[in-house]
Structures are given as C-alpha cells and as structure tokens.
Amino acid sequence: MQTPQLETERLILRPLALSDAPAIQRHFDNWNIIRQLAALVPWPYPADGADTFVRSQLGKISAGEELHHWVLVLKGGDGEAIGNIHFRPCADGTKGNRSFWLAEPYWGRGLMTEATTAMNDFAFLTLGLDHFYVCNAATNEASRRVKQKTGAEFVGFIELAHHGGQSKSEKWIVRRETWLRDRV
Ligand SMILES: CC(C)(COP(=O)(O)OP(=O)(O)OC[C@H]1O[C@@H](n2cnc3c(N)ncnc32)[C@H](O)[C@@H]1OP(=O)(O)O)[C@@H](O)C(=O)NCCC(=O)NCCS
C-alpha cells in the first residue's frame, strides 16, 4: 500500500520526497548520528549522499517494493525534514524492520517516541501486522529507551558492525497483541 501521511501531537510524518534531500544531507551528515548506525552507511558522508539515498529509496518504492519511508516535520514549522523513519515490513527482520534518526538539536524532547507510536499504529492497525523486529547498537541508550517506551520486548543480541565500533546489536520484537493491550 502507498505510504500515508501520519500525524502526532507535534509532528507530521510525511512520505519521503526528492525535495527532502538537502535537509537530510544537512542533518544526517553528523558523526553523533552516524556512529550509532550499521557500518553500511557511507562515512565520511558524501556531498551527494542524501540525494543518492533518496533517489534509491523512491526508485524501490515505485518499483513496488514494500517500503514506507517518512520524514519527520514539526507542526507549525517551516516544513523542513528533521528526521526520518524507514520501515520495511516484509524484510525478514534478521537485522530489524525499522530504522530512525532525528536531527541532533531536537533530541530528548520525546519526538521520536511520538513518531514511533504513530508508526506502530500504522503497522498494526492499518497494515494489520502480527509483529516486527527492531535493532540498535548495544550501547545506544536513547534508541533502546525509545523501544522500551513503545512496546518492544528484548529478544537477544546479534552481531552487527556499527560505525562507532560496537559489534553487537540488541534485537527486539514489537507485537501487535502487546501494542494494542498497553498502548496509552
Ligand atoms: C535515537 C533517537 C532517534 C532518539 O530520538 P529522541 O526524539 O531524542 O527520543 P525521545 O526523546 O523520544 O526518547 C529518548 C529517551 O532516551 C533517553 N536517553 C537519551 N540519551 C540517553 C542516555 N545517554 N542514557 C540513558 N537514556 C538516554 C531520554 O532520556 C529519553 O527517555 P525518557 O523519555 O524516559 O527520559 C536520537 O537520539 C537519534 O537520532 N540518535 C542518533 C541516531 C540513532 O541512534 N538512530 C537509531 C539507530 S537504532
């Protein structure tokens, strides 16, 4: 299905567009973000990194791959993308079905928890999934905390190389039953 726009109290989650590439480039080219990510992401981040990435994502979506990719935009702001959620519901989940990041100036205000809540509702209420998996570097306290606040249950560790040097990732499952039971 096509990716719908989602809304939370403070955010619009808008489907990714090519015009988001400059804002993504500006915010994502930041070691404090990249060091938490799997070593598949190019680093140093190339000058056309976001443009290449956005084009590749949009290409996959138009080729029919089931991939939902939102940018996070503050309500009442200038419409600039300040973060991103990428959800691959049909991927096998070995390394997680979702990834997210937020521009550093906006950390610690509960924004990703809010966005993740909307995405979980989409996954379970709209797509009707039974469960999906999420992962984070074993030292990524903020990402772990977002998961703990949004219904994820710890499964175990997997081996995954991260830019920051961590070789272990925590793996979590998010279940429809738990989400619908505990959702506030
Ligand atoms: C992970 C990330 C998206 C979180 O976004 P955010 O909007 O700041 O998250 P929230 O504010 O909703 O929640 C963060 C929680 O982590 C906690 N936290 C943050 N840093 C922490 C730390 N070093 N130790 C313990 N807890 C920490 C916050 O206190 C908050 O929990 P609380 O609400 O119980 O106080 C953001 O930090 C980010 O983009 N990091 C870099 C990229 C990344 O790690 N992506 C995820 C890869 S798996």
> What CATH number has the domain bearing residue 22?
3.40.630.30
Q: Which pTM does this prediction carry?
A: 0.98
pLDDT exceeds cutoff 80 at 162? yes
Ligand 1 pocket, residue 107 CB under 6 Å: yes
In a domain, 81, yes or no: yes
Give pLDDT, residue 152: 98
The domain total for the chain is 1
Could you tell me which residues come within 8 angstroms of residue 95 by beta carbon, excluding any fewer than 6 positions away? 38, 135, 158, 160, 169
In a domain, 179, yes or no: no
Distance CA 84, CA 81 (A): 8
The pLDDT of 37-66, averaged and rounded, is: 97
In a domain, 155, yes or no: no
The pLDDT of 115-132, averaged and rounded, is: 98
Distance CA 51, CA 96 (A): 24
Listed residue (49, 50, 83, 90) closest to 68, CA to CA: 90
In a domain, 156, yes or no: no
In a domain, 51, yes or no: yes
In a domain, 141, yes or no: no
In a domain, 183, yes or no: no
Planar angle of CA 183, 118, 3, nearest 5 degrees? 140
Confidence of residue 92 (pLDDT cuts 50, 70, 90): confident
Ligand 1 pocket, residue 172 CB under 6 Å: no
The pLDDT of 154-180, averaged and rounded, is: 97
CA of 150 to the centre of ligand 1 (A): 12
Q: Write out the two tokens for 129.
A: 């999934």
Ligand 1 pocket, residue 102 CB under 6 Å: yes
Ligand 1 pocket, residue 150 CB under 6 Å: no
In a domain, 101, yes or no: yes
Half-sphere exposure of 70 (CA within 13 A, CB side): 24
Q: Give residue 104's domain range.
A: 6-129
